[in-house]
Structure 1
Amino acid sequence: MRVFLQQSHQLCQRLQIWLILSLTVVLLTIASSPAIAQSENSAGNPVDGYPVVLDGIELFRIRQRIPGVVSAREQADIVSARLVQIANDESISLETIRVEEQGSNSVIQAGDTVLLTVQEGDRDGNLSRRATAARNAQVVQSAVAQYRHDRSAQQIVSGITFAIISTIALIGFLALVQRFVLRLRLKIKAAQKAKALCFRVQNLQLLGSEATGYSLIGLVGLLRLILVLASFYLYIPFVLSQFPGTRAIGNSLLTCIIHEV
């Protein structure tokens, strides 16, 4: 019995270390792949259209196909890629994002770059073609402004600061958990040696003090594992939400946690 409990305790410790390392690897992988947030929001269909996305946020949808030239999905991807280029080009001011009327088309431009051509078939609901184009241009302007703001030096420093603070808090919490667990184990072992942990039902002894002690130590190890996993469960999405490239993933995870609670 004692050997079995010792082996179970060692297995629990190894599992804890493996899970922590796995979570760390997952965090680093996600953080190094900022394009994931963008691609996750690229789902669409021919009926509802395909979304134009910037920084993981859907701006509007493209439903109209250009026959023989490009599909709605391809057009949405092209516009999304152009938006990233425009947002990263500080020489293109927000004021240059505008609508130019060209015959029966409304052309949304950013500087000299044509972003999107809005035709009569692209009208959104009861909006006219011009109103649809004007609204989309305004949405693009706001999204580009937010994109640049999120990547400003001030915001990056702020994100790093919050990430450092949360990391220090995590380390402090884990240290407190470890200290609590060690003290609890010492008390259990002391009671174990004093033969004070015998488990009896009426006059029948089901477990001796030694076996009960190892069972309690195993439960304490399980409690530590749960607390460690719970802390990482909160820490990882919070850190991800501090940086533009992974903010969509972090916010999505935080929303899932809030809904589960």
Structure 2
Amino acid sequence: MIRTIVVLPVLLLLFAISAFFADAAVDGRGMADVAASEAEPVTAPVEIDGEVLFRVRGASSFPAGQRAQAIKNRIEATAADTSIRSDMLRSVESDNITTLFAGNRLLMNITDSDALLEHLNRSYLAKVHLTRIRQAINDYRYMRSRDVLLQGCLYALAATVLLLLGIFLLLRVGRQLTEFLDRRVKSRIRSLEIQSFKVVRAEQIWLAIQGMLYAIRLVVILAAFFAYLDFVLALFPWTRGLANRLLDLITGPLTQMGKAFLDAIPNLLILVILYYFFRFVLRLLRLFFDALSKERVTLAGFDPDWAPSTYKIIRFALVTFALIVAYPYIPGSGSAAFKGISIFLGVVFSLGSTSLVSNIIAGYMLTYRRAFKIGDRVKIGDVTGDVTLTRLQVTHLRTLKNEEVSIPNSQILNGNVVNYSSLAHTQGLILHTTVGIGYETPWRQVEAMLLMAADRTPGLLKAPPPFILQKELGDFAVFYELNVYTDNPLEMTRLYTELHRQVLDVFNEFGVQIMTPAYRSDTLEPKVVPREQWYAPPAKIPPET
């Protein structure tokens, strides 16, 4: 912790320096690009069979690319016409232009601007271009001669045979090497273990060795195939340009990637500093809320159970803010592809996360409502069970039949929750059961028997004492409700069962029938209790009576 506090000012200083150099680099690149665009004119190469003869500039009405293509077409047409010898090339000077001819056929015009581009005078540039065009015409005709083409075909065939033979030998040697390692090395490979925990299994190490050998063979084959293509394509004039650009096809993207990485270093440094800064803030917040949850730090009106959820909310807000701050410095964040993917993900999330967001919000609201906690016995809807796990989206209950039930938090928030455990350990949970007894049985006797059954039931609290409520004077019976206290709501089912057993035993012991409250006719004798039977056992006469 102390080390982090010491390092934080250094990180802030590096952040300021990185921002300064990033802005300076952007300004420098912008000024350099403007200066380059003003100083260097646009040029295009004149290329024959993959060889660049020279570069030419253009004008707004005749761009450099079109001019270079026109010159190329004229040179190739001249080279294809065997009636024009290479020594028939000549230049004609005029006041502002030098014209190159092949016999009477126009090849190109050289202006003072072309000479200025090469930092030469116009007449000397015309001689250099004329020599270069003459050599290109001779090479053009030579490379298309029958002997050279036949020789190229033979060389290409030989190279193909050598490539296939080399690949065959490489695969065979690789297979033999794998078999040798399988016999001599595989049995000696042991798992990498830390005490009794296997970090890397022996099978995984062997698979890694096989993968490395396969990758080496693949790299060698690709390198051989690249050399084969470069050699064969250079044999024929039509593909020589592709052979010259073959290496650029591989090194070009790598060079661009390296340049982009170097340009992104200031932004990457800022991202690293932002990461460690927000990580430091999150670590401080976590220490604070851990202290709140363990009650080492107290806040008035703040329940310790709220600490984990509050920390998650603040962490989410802080991470979101960090992403907003870091977004401009992410490489490629300004590209159209990056923006398109961001918009697509946002649309998908907004369309598919309605219930997800509602359940997450409900999960946090349940935490602050303190409706229940893990271990409580609750009734949610028609499901009764013990809370085993609370998540952002769902709450898990284990029912009395040992079933796992997952209830969405939004459903819990919109419904009623009965918590049997919240007051059980302080005021006690009241368990109650109802019996119907005929009018001919003294109510004092019934209440005394019910209290005796409660006293005989193990696991119930003696204080507060049980009590009786006469719920209803029905048509056929009086309904008595026995209420008892317990501090163990998880034993509700067992306690109810034991209480009912004791009620049945006590009523059978004193010969009192728990009647079925439905019959067709009544007896002739009225169902009343004589005064002398009001305190039938186990009822006791109060001292004041």
TM-score normalised by structure 1 residue count: 0.64
| Maintained 8 Å contact 1:99/1:133 | yes
Among 109, 121, 127, the alignment partner of 2:101 is: 109
Matched, 1:162 2:155: yes
Equivalent position SS for 1:114: strand
Structure 1: runs of 5 or more not aligned: 1-44
CA distance in 1, matches of 2:56, 2:205: 66
Matched, 1:56 2:47: no
| Maintained 8 Å contact 1:64/1:121 | no
TM alignment of 1:204-215, pairs within 5 A? 207=201, 213-215=206-208
| Higher relative helix content | 1
| Maintained 8 Å contact 1:101/1:107 | yes
Deviating more after overlay: 233-242 vs 249-258: 249-258
Q: How far apart are residue 177 of structure 1 and its match?
A: 1.2
CA distance in 2, matches of 1:77, 1:256: 22
Q: How far apart are residue 231 of structure 1 and its match?
A: 1.8
Equivalent position SS for 1:98: strand
Letter in 2 for 1:86: T
CA distance in 1, matches of 2:207, 2:114: 70
Q: How far apart are residue 221 of structure 1 and its match?
A: 2.8
Among 183, 189, 196, the alignment partner of 2:187 is: 196
Among 89, 104, 107, the alignment partner of 1:97 is: 89
Partner of 1:174: 167
Letter in 2 for 1:76: A
CA distance in 2, matches of 1:175, 1:85: 45
CA distance in 1, matches of 2:232, 2:148: 14
| Maintained 8 Å contact 1:106/1:133 | yes
Change (3 A) 1:139 1:213: closer
| Maintained 8 Å contact 1:188/1:217 | no
Partner of 2:75: 83
| Maintained 8 Å contact 1:174/1:228 | yes
| Maintained 8 Å contact 1:188/1:213 | no
CA distance in 1, matches of 2:215, 2:114: 58
Q: How far apart are residue 154 of structure 1 and its match?
A: 2.5
Matched, 1:153 2:138: no
Letter in 1 for 2:243: G
CA distance in 1, matches of 2:66, 2:201: 69
Among 177, 180, 190, the alignment partner of 1:187 is: 180
Q: How far apart are residue 191 of structure 1 and its match?
A: 5.0
After superposition, give the CA deviation of every residue in 1:201-232 in whole Å (9 maximum; x if it has no partner). Answer: 69978645x66555544443333222222222
Partner of 1:15: none
| Maintained 8 Å contact 1:46/1:72 | no
After superposition, give the CA deviation of every residue in 1:45-102 in whole Å (9 maximum; x if it has no partner). Answer: 971533322222222333364x86x344422221111112112222221122111345
Letter in 1 for 2:232: V
| Maintained 8 Å contact 2:46/2:54 | yes
Q: CA RMSD in A?
A: 3.5
Q: How far apart are residue 141 of structure 1 and its match?
A: 0.8
CA distance in 1, matches of 2:192, 2:131: 74
Equivalent position SS for 2:187: coil
Partner of 1:236: 229
Matched, 1:123 2:79: no
| Maintained 8 Å contact 1:55/1:147 | yes
Q: How far apart are residue 137 of structure 1 and its match?
A: 1.7
CA distance in 2, matches of 1:185, 1:161: 36
Q: How far apart are residue 237 of structure 1 and its match?
A: 1.7
Equivalent position SS for 1:245: coil
| Maintained 8 Å contact 1:50/1:61 | yes
Q: How far apart are residue 114 of structure 1 and its match?
A: 0.9
Equivalent position SS for 2:84: coil
Structure 2: runs of 5 or more not aligned: 1-38, 255-545
CA distance in 2, matches of 1:120, 1:218: 62
CA distance in 2, matches of 1:244, 1:190: 52
Q: How far apart are residue 117 of structure 1 and its match?
A: 2.5
